């Protein structure tokens, strides 16, 4: 694998893990009802931009290396389901994440110190952040399964 593909894969993993950390932070802040708006806005923005970076770097690796060199190894190995189920689902479910993160980021940008936020809106956002965080964790677990399945 060339340095550029190694870098793209590493970037995809590192940015994805950092997005997971940011999303979990946001989730915990919402669950504990901590009114730290700076932390909320920073975590939501970080989740969005890190996911964008992970999408672009992972997409580059997937389009120009995975399909030509990795897919066939997985399909002919002992765990073909890692591509046929996990990778096929992962590559498409990942497309949801930047949109979920964008909506969360737009919504929390409205928060102002000293202004009351309706409990209904807080509950809705908590549900969306829970869904987004769960999907990011699923993506990470999927990535681990796919990497583990690359056995000739």
Partner 1 sequence: MKQNTIIASCIGAIAAIILTVAITIGGELYAPLKDWLKTTFTHHWLGKSVISVAVFAVILFITKFLPVPESEERIARLISILALVAILGTFSLIGFYTYEYLIYL
Tell me how far apart the terminal alpha carbons of the chain are, to the nearest angstrom.
Answer: 15
CA 48 to chain centre: 9
CA angle, corner 151, sides to 148 and 152, nearest 5? 170
Residue 77 interacting with partner 1 (CB under 8 A): no
Report how far apart, in Å, the C-alpha atoms of 134 and of each of 77, 79, 140 are: 29, 24, 10
CB of 103 to partner 1, least distance (A): 5
Q: What secondary structure letter does DSSP report for 117?
A: -
Q: Which is nearer to partner 1, 84 or 151 (CB)?
A: 84
Q: Which is nearer to partner 1, 36 or 96 (CB)?
A: 96
Residue 93 interacting with partner 1 (CB under 8 A): yes
Residues lying near partner 1 in the complex (CB under 8 A) are found at 55, 59, 62-63, 67, 81, 84-85, 88-89, 91-93, 95-96, 99-100, 102-103, 106-107, 109-110, 117-118, 120-121, 123-125, 127-128, 130-132, 135, 138
């Amino acid at each position: 694998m060339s340095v550029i593909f190694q870098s793209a894969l590493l970037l995809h993993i590192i940015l994805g893990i950092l997005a997971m950390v940011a999303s979990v932070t946001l989730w915990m802040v919402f669950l504990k009802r901590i009114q730290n708006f700076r932390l909320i806005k920073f975590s939501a923005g970080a989740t969005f931009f890190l996911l964008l970076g992970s999408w672009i770097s992972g997409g580059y690796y997937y389009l120009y290396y995975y399909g030509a060199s990795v897919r066939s190894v997985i399909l002919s190995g002992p765990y073909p389901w890692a591509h046929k189920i996990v990778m096929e689902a992962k590559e498409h479910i990942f497309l949801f994440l930047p949109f979920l993160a964008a909506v969360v980021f737009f919504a929390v940008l409205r928060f102002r110190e000293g202004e009351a936020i309706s409990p209904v809106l807080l509950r809705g956002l908590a549900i969306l952040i829970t869904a987004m965080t769960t999907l990011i964790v699923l993506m990470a677990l999927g990535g681990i399964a796919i990497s583990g399945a690359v056995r000739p």
